[in-house]
Amino acid sequence: MTRNGDILIIGAGIGGIQASHLLSKAGHQVHLVEKTAHIGGTSIKFEDVFPNLECATCMLSPLEQELLQDPNVHLLTLTEVAGLEGGPGDFTVRLRQRARYVNLENCIGCGACYDACPVSAINEFEEGLSQRKAICIPCAGTLPNVPRIDKEVCIRFKGQECVACQQACMFEAVEYGQEDRDIELKVGAVLVAVGSGTMDVRELPHLSYGVHPGVFTSLELERLNASNGPTEGKIQLRDGRAPNRVALVHCVGRRERTLCSGVCCRYLLKFRHYLRHKLPCAEVLEFHGDLCLPNKGDQRFLGEMAPDGEGLVRAEVVRIEVEGDYLKVIHRRDGREAIETVDMVVLSPALTPPKGATELARTLGVALADDGFFVVNGVASSRPGILILGGASGPKDIRETVVEALAAAGGACKAVMEGEDGK
């Protein structure tokens, strides 16, 4: 029998993108499946990336653009895997694609429809820091530069006769008649590149997240600093004031999850760079435990951001109390409790297994470990022909994710070929 050389990749973050490029170069047809309406994953939320403070958008968008123009890559957005049967070289995969209600070929991404839309909803991509329309892209620069209609909030899908977006479109791209569809594909191997999640810091009520508006998560700060974000790069409190004294809290959830996420020390140092640049007068205090800075350039960067240990407080944050507009960071240092008063707190939550990992593992028939991450041996899952890369099998930085993406892409080629030898 002939073996199928096509590869299914689940997740179009940096791992899925780099694996797609490699497999395309190697001559394979790639079906790249993405749950959301856009590609780029978590990395596109960052303004700069470690270790050289390179502009993340400038680094990623050429790769994304190339992907969209690659005839070997078949991108399926708004799509999830519903079922999988077979084995290496001969899988049958069932996909469910939700309707975008915008024609991908006709739309040029001019954005005329957003202005026309009367609906306003919370923008999840911006960590809830801004509003979006029912027809929208998550933020400027996301690709493909084609909006989608969010059926959950669009008033037309709630029975009203609104055609505002369709009328605003000059290219007849808005198609209310589109329907969700089921797709069946034959592939030789499957790559899982769904990334990780972050811990919900509300699980740790003593840190006052959601209680006081001055407490932020790290992803919220990333978006506040992003030039394409909700404040166009202004780091500010939820009421628009600039913070004067900022506490960066390391290792949030580390003990609860028995896990050092390995990326937080580095991005918190990067935040110091953001803050120094945007708010030169603000004082920054970093409450940290063991600093995990093993990569090239990390120690040098620590020296630049915290010369002579400036702003570093080796202490465990016991709790954060609200005092009017201010926040009291109660911390234990050398066995004694002390207090620092600040007006902004940034928490660095532990990385967790990706949302929906349990269902996905069941659908694919692969094993999850006790901690909820995918079980791997290298990049191999518990089922032949299915490979796991990046944050799905434990916290990873971009570099580690890309290494695993390349390794998994190689493994997929091999899985397809070995299936051939076996028959």
Partner 1 sequence: MNARVGVYVCECGNNISDQVDIAALVPMLEGAPGVVKVMSHRLLCSKEGQEFLAEEVRKEGLTHLVVAACSPRQHLPTFMEVCKRGGLNPYLMQMANIREQCAWVTSDRHEATEKAARMIRAAIARVVRQAPLPEREVEANPDVIIIGGGLSGTVTASMLAGPERRVHVVDRNPALAVALTSLKGVETHGGCEVEAVRGFFGNFEVELASKGSRQEVRVGAMVVCTGSRAMTLQEMGYPGSEAPHVVVLPQDPESLRPYLDALPSGQPKVMFVHCAGRERVGYCSGVCCLRSFKAMRWMAETAPNAQLSCLHQDICVPGRDGEREYQGILGIGARMTWGRLTALAQQGPQVTVSFRREDGSIGQDAADLVILVPATVPNHGARALIDIIGVEAGPAGFVEEAHPMLEPVSTSVKGIYVAGSASGPRDGRATSLLSLAAAAQIAAELRPGKTLRLEAQTSQVCEALCTGCRNCMTVCTYGAIEYDLVAQTCRVNETICRGCGNCVAACPSEAISVKGATYQQILQEIKEAVR
Residues that bind partner 1 (CB under 8 A): 18, 22-23, 25-27, 49, 51-52, 59, 62-63, 65, 69, 105-106, 108, 110, 112, 170-171, 254, 258-263, 290-300, 314, 369, 371, 373, 378-379, 394-395, 397-400, 402-407, 409-411, 413-414
Whole-number Å distance between alpha carbons of 51 and 382: 34
Smallest separation, CB 300 to partner 1 (Å):
8
Cα-flanking dihedrals φ and ψ of residue 283, to 5°? -90, 140
DSSP run (H or E) holding 419 = helix 398-422
DSSP calls for 10-78: E--SHHHHHHHHHHHHTT--EEEE-SSSSB-TTGGG-SEETTTTEEHHHHHHHHHHHHHT-TTEEEE-S
Q: How far is the CB of 25 from partner 1 (least distance, A)?
A: 4
Shortest distance, CB of residue 129 to partner 1, whole angstroms? 25
312-314 β-sheet, strand order: 215-217, 344-349, 245-252, 283-288, 312-314
CB of 323 to partner 1, least distance (A): 30
Nearer to partner 1, 70 or 340 (CB): 70
* C-alpha distance from residue 176 to each of 161, 162, 179, 268, 381 (Å): 11, 11, 9, 44, 40
**Which residue number, 155 or 292, has a Cβ lying nearer to partner 1?**
292
Q: Cβ 378 to partner 1, closest distance in Å?
A: 6
Q: 215 vs 312, which CB is nearer to partner 1?
A: 312
Report residue 144: phi and psi, to 5°.
Answer: -65, 145
Q: Which is nearer to partner 1, 69 or 240 (CB)?
A: 69
Rounded least distance, CB 178 to partner 1, Å: 19
Of the pair 317, 389, the CB lying nearest partner 1 is at 389
Distance CA(2)–CA(417), nearest Å, equals 10
Q: How far is the CB of 376 from partner 1 (least distance, A)?
A: 10
Shortest Å distance, C-beta 92 to partner 1: 25
> What tokens does 98 get?
């939700």
For 382, 401, 418, 423, the CA distances from 387, given in Å and listed in that order, are 9, 13, 14, 21
Nearer to partner 1, 251 or 275 (CB): 251
**157 or 171: CB nearest partner 1:** 171
- What DSSP string describes 300-345? HHHHHHSGGGTTEEE-EEEEEEEETTEEEEEEEETTEEEEEEESEE
Cα–Cα distance measured from residue 137 to residue 219, given in angstroms and rounded to the nearest whole number: 19
Cβ 180 to partner 1 shortest distance, Å? 26
Instruction: Tell me, rounded to whole angstroms, the distance of Cα 331 from its chain centroid.
Output: 31
Between 107 and 327, CB nearer to partner 1: 107
7: three-class secondary structure by DSSP: strand
Residue 46's nearest CA partner among 270, 340, 256, 305 is 270
Q: Which is nearer to partner 1, 66 or 321 (CB)?
A: 66
Please give the Cα distance from 249 to 289 (Å, whole number). Answer: 10
Beta strand pairing call for 351-352 and 181-187 = unpaired
